[in-house]
Structure 1
Amino acid sequence: MSLTNQKHLFDLPEGITYLNIASQSPSFKSVEEAGIKTVKEKSKPYIITASRYFDPIVKLKKLFAQLVKADDYNRIACIPSVSYGLSTVANNIKLNEGDEILLIEEQFPSNYYVWERLANKYKATIKIAKQPNTTENKGKLWNENILNAISNKTAVIAMGNIHWANGTLFNLKAIREKATVHNSLFIIDGSQSVGALPFSVEELQPDALICAGYKWLFGPYGCAYGYFGSYFDNGIPLEENWSNRLNSENLSGLTNYQTEYKPLANRYCVGEHGSFIYTEMQIAALTQLLKWNPVEIQEYCLSITSDFIKKLREVGCIIEEDEFRAKHLFGIQLPNHVNIESIKNRLQQEQIFVSYRGNYVRISCHLFNTKEDFDKLTKCFLSEIQ
């Protein structure tokens, strides 16, 4: 059964057209309720038991593991941000002089600076897989550029499932296969895809997957997730957090200092990751998200955007071809004669919220949006372009 509009699960006012989930998601009502409930719980700290710092974390990790099809929740770490997760990854990679780190052109800054530092540390090289200077077959050619850039020198490949600004879809399965041939680490930023696009750790076998929690995973700002593969099983965390050590649940024995961490990725959790306020909000978010099928989310987003995209292409706007773009997030390049400030002012007047990233007007939608939202958006664009 196909998904239908789910706006009733959100507290979005009538008259607001929100097409900017790629920047910040609205909360489910259930997430808001979980947050309010646990904020009130903090007002009565005498009712907070030791188990509150541990049991919900296990539940949360199991939910995220289920979402990304990872078979062991102990490979999931609760972290505060993508930059924290990527820094953890880079902190545990050793390179040789002359090794290459492969990135895609115009990658999000948090997924660039960390690799620049690592390259400088080991006198390695950043190699950029550039996007083709063409409007036809751009996604296809860009994927070919990425695959052609992988060689015996490639030590690390770090990228997203889609391009964060224009929605270009990358063939992670083919990239994983070539990375394996060349013994390259494959680090995926799932921030703009996991939750809205199908993703399987079992199929893609990433060495690490890092995801922001406040976009397509509907959690609060300041939460993120990391999956760490076997390469990182014995790594060094960024900080020494008491709760990541073996037997830390025994609060009366904390000064019996432990040399061992909890198994696998538990060592990489941020300090105070047991925050019951954030944890309960994240649990509520993932519980709802797992009721949906990412394939059906893509189908729904395609159904409400198709007419809009067709009409914009007819007046000279450039949008990645359907086969090589995500349906929940895509960028629009405007014709040269169009005044972008005029577009911004018109959308602001109509209370339509989008993003502006580089040369793109970025549109990101979900199940709370409707075809009528895009009919309204179409009128705004056409009035400024024609």
Structure 2
Amino acid sequence: MSLKQQKHLFNISEDVTYLNTASFSPAFKSVEAAGIGAIRRKSSPELRQASDLFEPVIKLRKLFAQLIDEDDYNRVVTIPSVSYGMANVANNITLKEGDEIVIVEEQFPSNYYIWENLAKQYNAKIVTVNQPDKPKDWNGLILEAITKNTALVAIGHLHWANGIVFDLKALRKKTNEHDALLVIDGSQSIGALPFSIKDIQPDALICAGYKWLFGPYGCAYAYYGSYFDNGKPIEQNWANRLGSENLSGLTEYQSQYKPKASRYAMGESGSFIYVKMQIAALEEILKINKAEFQDYCHSISGDALKSLSEIGFTSDNPEVRAKHLFGIKIPNSVDTDLLKQTLKSHNIHLSFRGDYMRVSCHIFNTETHFKKLFSVLNAAVNG
């Protein structure tokens, strides 16, 4: 059965054309209700139990593990941001002088600054693979950049600005051949694009939670493979130590961390309001078949993108990019600042990234939204 539009699950106004989930997702009604319920619970602190700090978090971790096809929830942990998760990765990597870290052109800052800092620390080198004229050739160039000097490949599942999908299986194979780590930023793909830890087996997967996972701003998730099982977390908090569930024994200081990814948990990971909202959000996302979701996004956008290309607003071939997130190249003749004002005046919301308009859609979007986008852009160009 094919996926249908589900606008009724959201409280988005009919006059709003929201094509910007890649920046911030709206809230499912169920997520909004979970947040309100959690806030109200704050008014009755006497009802809260010590187990509330741990059991909901375990449930949340199990949901995220299910989402990424990981059997052991102890391999995943909740964190506050992608930069936090990447910092834990970098904190447990030792490089040699001349080692190389492979990234791609215009990578998201949270997946760049940490490696720039690590490279400076060890006098290593950042190798940036630029996007070629033909996007289909990009994966080949990345594979060529992985050599005996490569210590780490840090990359998204897809490019955050234009949606070009990277061949993670091929990258994993090549990094294994050179004993290099593979660290994936799944912020723009997990929850929207088919993905399996079992298929890719990355060393780490870090993912923002407020985009395609529909959680509140300030939540994220991390998967850490066996390489990091005995690592040192960047934060020393009481909750990531072994036996911390026994609140009456907290001053019997414990030198051991909880197993596997649990050692990388942030302080106050049991955040009562956020966790309730995140659980509700992942329960909604797990209902969506990701392959069907990709097909749905393509079905509502395909005709409009074809029409847009005829007036100079071009996008990459769907065979090399994601269907839920893609870039539309702005013609050189178009005043971008004026275009932004025009879209805003018509209540159309998307992002501008370099030479692209970045469009991202979900199950609350319909073909009508893309027809409106074409109509406004066509009028802006042709009057």
Q: Structure 2 length normalisation: TM-score?
A: 0.99
Residue in structure 1 matched with residue 164 of structure 2 by the alignment: 168
Q: Is the 8 A contact 2:334 2:381 kept in 1?
A: yes
Which whole-Å CA distance do the structure 2 matches of 1:21 and 1:247 have between them?
39
Give the distance between the partners of 1:117 and 1:369, measured in 2 at CA.
Answer: 40
Q: 2 CA distance for matches of 1:220 and 1:324?
A: 30
1:276-295 alignment runs, 5 A limit: 276-295=272-291
Match 1:342 to one of 334, 338, 345: 338
Distance 1:334 1:366 in 2: 23
Q: Residues 102 and 146 of structure 2 are in contact (CA less than 8 Å); yes or no, is this contact kept in structure 1?
A: yes
Counting only pairs closer than 5 Å after superposition, residues 283-322 of structure 1 correspond to structure 2 as 283-322=279-318
Which has the higher mean CA deviation after the structures are superposed, 307-316 or 210-219?
Answer: 307-316
Partner of 2:380: 384
Aligned AA (2:97) = E
Q: Deviations over 1:323-359 (max 9, x none)?
A: 1000000111111111112221221111000101111
* RMSD of Structure 2 on Structure 1 (CA): 0.8
Q: Which residue of 2 aligns with 1:182?
A: 178
Quick check: 1:53–1:274 contact (8 Å CA) kept in 2?
yes
Q: In the TM superposition, what are the counterparts of 1:1-386 in structure 2 within 5 Å? A: 1-132=1-132, 134=133, 138-386=134-382
SS across alignment from 2:323: coil
Contact 1:129 1:146 in 2 (8 A): yes
SS in structure 2 at match of 1:226: strand
Q: CA deviation at 1:87?
A: 0.6
1:109-141 deviation per Cα after TM superposition (whole angstroms, max 9, x unaligned): 111000000000011000001111x2xxx2211
Say whether the 8 Å CA contact 1:343–1:380 is kept in structure 2. Answer: no
Displacement after TM superposition at 1:318 (Å): 2.6
Shift of 1:317: 2.3
Distance in 1 (alpha carbons) for counterparts of 2:171 and 2:233: 28
Q: Structure 2: how far apart are the matches of 1:59 and 1:129? A: 39
TM superposition shift of 1:315: 1.9
Over the matched positions of the two proteins, sequence identity in percent amounts to: 59
Unpaired stretches in structure 1, ≥5 consecutive residues: none
Residue 13 of structure 1 and its aligned partner are, at CA, apart by 0.8
- CA deviation string 1:340-382 (max 9, x = no partner): 1222122111100010111111100001000000000000111
Q: Per the alignment, in what secondary structure is the counterpart of residue 155 of structure 2?
A: strand
Contact 1:28 1:218 in 2 (8 A): yes
> In structure 1, how many angstroms separate the alpha carbons of the residues matched to 2:48 and 2:147?
54
The CA distance in 2 between the partners of 1:157 and 1:139, in whole Å, is 19
Quote the Cα distance in structure 2 between the aligned partners of 1:181 and 1:312: 43
Distance 1:380 1:34 in 2: 37
Q: Which whole-Å deviations, capped at 9, do the CAs of 1:88-115 have from their partners, x for residues lacking one?
A: 1111111111000000000011110000
1:385 Cα offset (Å): 2.4
Whether the aligned pair in 2 keeps the contact of 1:139 and 1:169 (CA below 8 Å) is no
Letter in 2 for 1:346: T
Larger mean Cα displacement after TM superposition, 375-384 or 116-125: 375-384
The answer to whether the 8 A contact 1:196-1:216 is kept is: yes
How many pairs align?
382
Helix, strand or coil for the counterpart of 2:234?
coil
Given that 1:161 and 1:172 are in contact with CA atoms closer than 8 Å, whether structure 2 keeps it comes out as: yes
Counterpart residue type for residue 221 of structure 1:
Y
